[in-house]
Chain A
Amino acid sequence: GAVVSQHPSRVICKSGTSVKIECRSLDFQATTMFWYRQFPKQSLMLMATSNEGSKATYEQGVEKDKFLINHASLTLSTLTVTSAHPEDSSFYICSARPPGHHTGELFFGEGSRLTVL
């Protein structure tokens, strides 16, 4: 089956630093990837849609300057949390839809837990 992988799975950083999270589709090409954020014991909230070769589309209320998304190739999207603060601590999950799969049939990465001290 299709595999989406994230790295790192856990990261701890100091307040004010930037952190990059990678999302890779290992066995398929993904022109679009989706970044979700999950607060403890809560549901997933779509942050942005990452589009290969073009700008990401951000959901309402998500700061595009805070959460930089780059989708430079068909198998890699990156999320950079800039000038991280403790309130940015969360579980970040990416997903993608492999070719041939229906709308909404997404494959998710393992998630990346960010802790900002």
Chain B
Amino acid sequence: AQSVTQPDIHITVSEGASLELRCNYSYGATPYLFWYVQSPGQGLQLLLKYFSGDTLVQGIKGFEAEFKRSQSSFNLRKPSVHWSDAAEYFCAVAPSGGYNKLIFGAGTRLAVHP
């Protein structure tokens, strides 16, 4: 069955520090991969996406993610975290081939210390 694993439930970093949020997926073929961010009490916003091509993708707000097929991973990174980055981050996959059903990971809650 398709699944998405985010091993870290909660991460705390200091402002200005680098960040890496982990995501692993289980799927027969290479799916479409996404990272979404959710601020408290809000809907989700798309940070970045991977469909094909360059395995390092750039997103909004200075985020990037790298797709590693051999590790079935799609980790999210940011070189310098800002206090406003504190939020819940969800990794998601969609089967390639035209279907819009997203499968979400459990999420990683990011706290940023000043």
Contacts and interface: CB of A to CB of B under 8 A. Distances in A.
Contacts, number: 67
Contacts of A105: 34, 46, 49
Contacts of B36: 108
Interface string B30-52: 00101010000111111001010
Given A43-B107, A104-B94, A105-B49, A49 B43 contact: no
B32 A102 contact: yes
Interface of A: 4, 6, 32, 34, 41-46, 49, 93, 95, 97, 102-111, 113
14 contacts: A43-B90, A43-B104, A43-B105, A44-B102, A95-B44, A97-B100, A102-B49, A103-B98, A103-B99, A104-B32, A104-B92, A106-B102, A110-B42, A113-B41
A86 B34 CA distance: 33
**Which 8 interchain pairs have the tightest Cβ spacing?**
A104-B94, A108-B43, A108-B44, A43-B104, A110-B43, A104-B32, A43-B106, A44-B104
